[in-house]
């Protein structure tokens, strides 16, 4: 199942890595790590989390293997090593991710959950206010029923 943390307001600890440029494709468009992983059929946030959990040397090896499969960016073949090193340096360390997100963790994911207020948004609050309005209206003005 894909992680949906990227929908939270405020981004994720992986944004620096995922939105980093890998290079330009043959059409002259800048290609990000997010785009590269998505074009390879991978979930970018899952891959970023997996890479961040690895020791740096292992993350470099895995990222090198992934990017070797991607041929749309000519500069990637020419300057492969420097690009890999730069990208791995952008990955958050596991301790940095957890310290920046508080003590609550997602079930089985190792990531913090957003606060309840931020996760719910305004929709449930508005629905609750409408229900209260109907209850107050029914209490003060009464309801038409079969006994009247």
In a domain, 146, yes or no: no
Domain-located, residue 138: no
- Top mean pLDDT of 10-24, 99-113, 116-130 is at 10-24
Of 112 and 135, the structure prediction assigns the larger pLDDT to: 135
For the chain, how many structural domains are there in total?
Answer: 1
> How are beta strands 30-32 and 21-24 bridged, if at all?
antiparallel
- Which residues does 114 contact at the CB level (< 8 Å), separation at least 6? 8, 9
> pLDDT confidence of 20, banded at 50, 70, 90?
very high
CB of 75 within 8 A of CB of 23? yes
Whether 145 maps to a domain, the answer reads no
**Domain range for 30:** 5-114
Average pLDDT, the chain: 77
Higher pLDDT, 46 or 12: 46
**What pLDDT does 116 receive?**
47
Question: Residues 124-133: contacts with CB within 8 Å, 24+ apart?
Answer: none
């Amino acid at each position: 199942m894909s992680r949906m943390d990227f929908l939270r307001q405020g981004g994720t600890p992986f944004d620096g890595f995922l939105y980093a440029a890998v290079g330009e494709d043959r059409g002259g468009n800048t290609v990000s790590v997010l785009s590269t992983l998505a074009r390879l059929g991978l979930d970018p946030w899952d891959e970023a989390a997996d890479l961040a959990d690895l020791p740096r040397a292992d993350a470099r090896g895995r990222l090198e293997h992934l990017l070797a499969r991607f041929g749309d960016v000519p500069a990637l073949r020419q300057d492969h090593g420097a690009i890999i090193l730069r990208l791995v340096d952008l990955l958050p360390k596991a301790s940095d991710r957890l310290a920046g997100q508080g003590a609550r963790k997602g079930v089985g994911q190792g990531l913090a959950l957003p606060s309840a207020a931020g996760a719910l948004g305004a929709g449930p609050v508005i629905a609750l206010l409408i229900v209260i309005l109907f209850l107050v209206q029914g209490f003060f003005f009464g309801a038409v029923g079969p006994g009247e």
